[in-house]
Amino acid sequence: MITYHIITLFPEIVRAYTDVSIIGRAQERKKIKVRVYNTRDFTRDKHKRIDGRPYGGGPGMVMQAEPILKAVKKAIGGKKNKKVKIVLLSPNGKQFTNKTALDFSKKYTDIVFIAGRYEGIDARVKKILSAQGGSALGGKASIEEWSVGPYIVTGGELPSLIMLDAITRQISGVLGKDESVEEKRIAGKEVYTRPESLVFAGKKYIVPKVLRSGHHEKIEKYRRKNKKLSTLIQ
């Protein structure tokens, strides 16, 4: 079982996704656990502020180190015998791929996602966790920066959920049948379902004859010819 720990300013964003559909069912089946930590719960500021102006000037605000470090300690404190990965979501991080998802699903028992906001996170978070390997937090872990694509989004919640989803799909039994994982089956460029004949805007669109033939060998050949490798395996 993998336990995901998501450190965020917006727990409601995370729960809206993780508590339903495949990820929700994976929790019900005890394949994964999802624990969410509100960064504001770890600040000493009476107004629950967790950000400050950047040293050296510049626009925006920076998330403070202490609340994040305390949240990470809450998540992994004492997990010395666990295989823990701390993921810092960053546009400067390594590119996450489906191969990464498979590797993570096999290597780690706990994955901590730090979802940043604003102009970013105080750099001392990474320095402390990198230098001490999580030992300062009562556990043992490695930290890396990861990115889900060559673009910028408002916060780290969506990238966290993308990684969580991709990793969870690799866990045996989550999708019911292992063949359901796209990279383990032939995914055609074109897929169809009923009705066989669709009329829309005055034009008729029919499912290719070979897919209606019932001839398994020809269907397999058609799908292989039109298979989509995309970027699932990198």
Residue 144's pLDDT is what?
Answer: 95
CATH 3.40.605.10 assigned to 2-178: no
- Helix axis angle for 21-28 and 157-169, nearest 10°, is 60
For 84-129, write each residue's pLDDT tens digit: 999 999 988 999 999 999 999 999 999 999 999 988 899 999 999 9
CA distance 26 to 174: 6
Phi, psi of 88, deg, nearest 5? -100, 110
Give residue 185's pLDDT band: very low, low, confident or very high (50, 70, 90). Answer: low
- DSSP, residue by residue, the chain: -EEEEEEES-HHHHHHHHTSHHHHHHHHTTSEEEEEEEGGGG---TT---EEPPTT--SS-EE-HHHHHHHHHHHHTT-TTS-EEEEEEEEEEEEP-HHHHHHHHHH-SEEEEE---TT-B-THHHHHHHHHTTGGGTS--EEEEEESSSS--S-SHHHHHHHHHHHHHTSTTTTSSGGGSGGGS--BSS---S-SEEEETTEEEE--HHHHS--HHHHHHHHHHTB--TTT--
What percent of the chain has pLDDT above 70?
86
Taking each helix axis from N to C end, the angle separating 11-18 and 21-28, rounded to the nearest 10 degrees, works out to: 80
Q: How confident is the model at residue 229 (pLDDT cuts 50, 70, 90)?
A: very low
Tens of pLDDT along 143-174?
Answer: 999 999 999 999 999 999 999 999 999 999 99
- Where do the structural domains in the chain lie, given as residue ranges? 2-178, 186-225
- The predicted pLDDT at position 233 comes to 39
Query: Is the model's pLDDT at 188 over the cut of 60?
Result: no
Banded model confidence at residue 232, pLDDT cuts 50, 70, 90: very low
How far is residue 172's CA from residue 178's CA, in Å, rounded to a whole number?
Answer: 6
